[in-house]
């Protein structure tokens, strides 16, 4: 059956939209940015989107800034609508500045849809491919950055943990924890950060507004510096979990990630994006009869 997701009213209908970059009619990129980071870095995001079909269609795009509640636009009210000809690839450089008119500092999630429920003029099977790159534009040596492609299998809709492995915080490395709420209501997500021996070195929770998220440095979270590679665990508070995802109209989900940067403050400024991988695959509500 076509399972309802909280933010799109439709499930994955393209069978190859499973891991990483795949054909889909919906996509949620967990973070794009246009803002200054640790001096002297300045981060921007580019989008590349491709129409693999032999017919044209439109892709509607919405931006969900972090740290505030957002709403999914109604059909016809999306702030950005892209026309994709058959086989066309579009490059959207500095997507927040050039397409959403953001001149100050901002960071958040980017939502794409070509589903007829959100874009009524589109035919069925209007599938696309999309990826993004967030990079430091302030270094004359190059735009060091990270590729961030949507991955629907990274959604977590249960109280079981998601794990991000490969963070570093110490020496020349710094890391950030990111959590995105892909739900129409506020949810609470707990985090645990463990050292190489499996001992908790920091734990807490974040209350995330609807269709929003946040990103916090390990320093701001109070994680002690070390030469280890700590592991991040994330799980939804049981009170935020949708009780019966197979019968619910809307299901609460979150996405988690770690952004690791070489440069604290010295270094290349090169960044890596690390998904928090759920224990439960496929996500809650995706395997309903």
pLDDT < 50: residue spans in the chain: 1-20
Long-range Cβ contacts of 103-106 (<8 Å, 24+ apart): 104/35, 105/34, 105/35, 105/36, 106/33, 106/34, 106/35, 106/65
Q: Which of 153, 113, 125 is nearest to 14 (CA)?
A: 125
Predicted local confidence at residue 3, as pLDDT: 37
Q: Say what the pLDDT of residue 37 is.
A: 80
Neighbours of 19 (CB within 10 A): 11
Residues 6+ positions from 148 with CB-CB distance below 8 Å: 29, 30, 31, 32, 131, 132, 133, 134, 273
What is the maximum span of the chain, computed from C-alpha positions, in angstroms? 55
Q: Determine the pLDDT at residue 21.
A: 52
Q: What is the pLDDT of residue 117?
A: 94
Instruction: Find the radius of gyration of the CA atoms of the chain.
Output: 19
The per-residue pLDDT for 2 is 36
Q: How many beta carbons lie within 10 A of that of residue 192, not counting itself?
A: 18
Are 170 and 227 a contacting pair, CB within 8 Å? Answer: yes
CA dist 191 and 202 (Å) reads 8
Pairing of strands 42-50, 26-36: antiparallel
Structural domain spans, the chain = 26-278
Task: List b or e across 121-154, with b for residues whose CB sees 16 or more CB atoms inside 10 angstroms.
Answer: ebeeebbbbbbbbbbbebbeeeebbbebbbbbbb
Kindly state the tokens that stand for 192. Answer: 């645990």
Please state, in angstroms and rounded to a whole number, the distance separating the CA atoms of residues 195 and 200. 7
Picking from 1, 10, 11, 13, the residue whose alpha carbon sits closest to that of residue 126 is: 13
The neighbour count for residue 196, using CB atoms within 10 Å, is: 11
Which class does domain 26-278 fall in?
Answer: mainly beta
Residues sharing a CB contact under 8 Å with residue 220, sequence separation 6 or more, in sequence order: none
Looking at residue 151, what is its pLDDT?
92
At residue 22, the pLDDT reads 67
Output the pTM of the full model. Answer: 0.91
Contact 110, 132 (CB under 8 A): yes
């Amino acid at each position: 059956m076509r399972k309802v997701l909280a933010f799109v009213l439709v499930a994955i209908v393209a069978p190859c939209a499973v891991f990483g970059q795949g054909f889909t009619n919906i996509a949620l990129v967990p973070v794009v940015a246009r803002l200054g980071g640790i001096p002297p870095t300045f981060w921007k995001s580019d989008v590349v989107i491709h129409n693999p079909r032999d017919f044209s269609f439109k892709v509607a795009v919405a931006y969900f800034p972090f740290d505030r509640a957002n709403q999914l636009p109604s059909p016809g009210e999306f702030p950005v609508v892209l026309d994709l000809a058959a086989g066309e690839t579009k490059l959207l450089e500095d997507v927040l500045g050039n397409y959403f008119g953001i001149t100050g500092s901002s960071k958040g999630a980017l939502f794409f849809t070509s589903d007829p429920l959100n874009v009524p003029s589109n035919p069925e099977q209007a599938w696309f491919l999309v990826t993004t790159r967030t990079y430091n534009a302030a270094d004359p040596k190059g735009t060091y950055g990270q590729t961030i492609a949507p991955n629907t299998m990274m959604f977590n809709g249960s109280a079981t943990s998601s794990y991000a492995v490969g963070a570093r915080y110490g020496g020349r490395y710094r890391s950030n924890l990111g959590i995105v709420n892909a739900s129409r209501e506020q949810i609470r997500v707990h985090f645990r950060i463990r050292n190489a021996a499996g001992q908790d070195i920091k734990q807490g929770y974040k209350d995330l507004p609807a269709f929003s998220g946040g990103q916090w440095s390990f320093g701001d979270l109070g994680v002690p510096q070390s030469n280890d590679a700590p592991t991040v665990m994330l799980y939804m508070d049981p009170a935020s979990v949708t009780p019966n995802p197979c019968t619910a109209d809307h299901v609460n989900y979150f996405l988690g990630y770690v952004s690791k940067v070489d440069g604290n403050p010295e270094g290349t400024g090169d960044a890596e994006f690390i998904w928090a991988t759920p224990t439960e695959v496929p996500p809650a509500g995706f395997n309903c009869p």
